[in-house]
Amino acid sequence: MRKIGIIGAGPAGVFAAINIKNENNQVYLLDKNNQIGEKLKITGNGRCNVTNAKYYDEFLENIIRNKNFLYSAFSRFDNFSMIDFLNKEGIETVIEEDGKVFPKSSRSSEIICLFERLIREKGIRFIPKTEVENIEKSDCFLLETSRGKYEFDSLIIATGGRTYLKTGSTGDGYTFARSFGHKIINTKASLMPLYLEDRINVKALSLSDKKLCLKTMEKTYEIRGDIMLTPNFITGPAAIKIQALAARDHLKILSIDFLPEYTYEMLDKKLISIFEDNSRKNLSNVLNLLLNDQLVSILLDRLKINKDMKVSEVSREDRKSILDSIKAFDLKMSQKENFDNAVITSGGVDLKEINPKTMESKLVKDLYFIGEVLDIDALTGGFNLQIAFTTAYAASLDIKEKI
């Protein structure tokens, strides 16, 4: 009877285990933690955004890097296959904004309880609190761990990336991959806030529908959406998305258009009009007709324009400076990375060395890599979890076919 070892009891590792296990094999699931799914608990703010209901092309558009690699595996187990799996196992799902799929209960614990039940029912051997210290390959895979030695005929690395270190994602999978000769694409924190080198004198300020233009050494990215300004970083859906797109670049300048609904010329005419209609009022009070008062203070402080001056005293040059600042408020970006504040790791095991149909290593027979340890990442919305489930299923099919 073949023995299958899986290192990592996150979404990818667990899903591989429950799909591999049958009467012809023994499956061992090893993890540093005391229980499965530590990272799964906190996805979707604890609600578990388990996948996304966008159709094929639109779904794959949300995979930022190496989506072509996923075509073969996705054709065998896609997002709707995952929804069907959950429904058949008694978990009702709901589709919310932007196609995000959650358990109807809005509790990640429901998904974890399902996986725990299937592990018990299928007789998968979960080995918790276990550090894998060394792996070698001869006729089989020889693992030295903190709880003894194990031998496996096939081995799956499902250790995740480097995000959320407290859940056990410390990059071990990259070390294991290198030991077998695999190349690791430089890992970067993705889906995190944009850190600023220029401090903003602001409390947390939420702003709707702003346009961001992020210039890097490599290219320029543009996106429109909601953001939140803080003194040291910018977060919110649009900021996190544009950071993910540029995660591997050298960041330079972020330019914010605070009134993207106006062209430059339209806004100039608008400013002239409201200035003419309110010439006796204070400048800050008039600008509040267009912008949040805290934002007005930020702009005028930067321009060193007296917010209490009368509109009639505003020069043509000052008006143009205000206009320029509203349409392109530039902030110098920091190169700071914070994996604990990032959702996903960009980079990982080089996909040129992985079979896209099976997730098996092209360098080492019977060695597989699945989930976040691979060099493939996506935007928020359930896409990264689906990558974990899809790659896990691909590996499970291949392993079962070999038995």
Say if residue 182 is in the same domain as residue 129: yes
Say yes or no: 275 and 353 in one domain: no
Same domain, 182 and 57: yes
Whether residue 25 is found in the same domain as residue 127? yes
Same domain? 148 vs 239: no
| Greatest mean pLDDT range, 153-167, 189-203, 225-239 | 225-239
In the block, tokens 């800050």 appear at 284
Query: Average of pLDDT values for 291-320?
Result: 93
In a 10 Å sphere around its CB, with 0-12 CB exposed, 13-18 middle and 19+ buried, how is residue 231 labelled? exposed
- Note the pLDDT of residue 169: 79
Same domain, 104 and 225: no
Average pLDDT for 381-389: 97
How far apart are alpha carbons 140 and 152 in whole angstroms?
A: 6
Average pLDDT of the segment spanning 291-296: 93
Of 319, 336, 353, the residue at which a domain comes to its end is 336
- Note whether 150 and 125 are same-domain residues: yes
Domain boundary among 336, 370, 394: 336
Last residue of a domain, one of 289, 310, 336: 336
Q: For residue 221, is pLDDT > 90?
A: yes
69 and 123 together in one domain: yes
Note whether 69 and 172 are same-domain residues: yes
30-71 pLDDT, tens per residue?
999 999 988 888 887 889 999 999 999 999 999 999 999 999
Mean pLDDT of the chain: 95
Structural domain boundaries enclosing 310: 193-336
Residues 200 and 176 in one domain: no
69-82 confidence digits (pLDDT tens): 999 999 999 999 99
Asked if 201 and 330 sit in the same domain, the reply is yes
Domain count, the chain: 2
Do residue 253 and residue 344 come from a single domain?
no
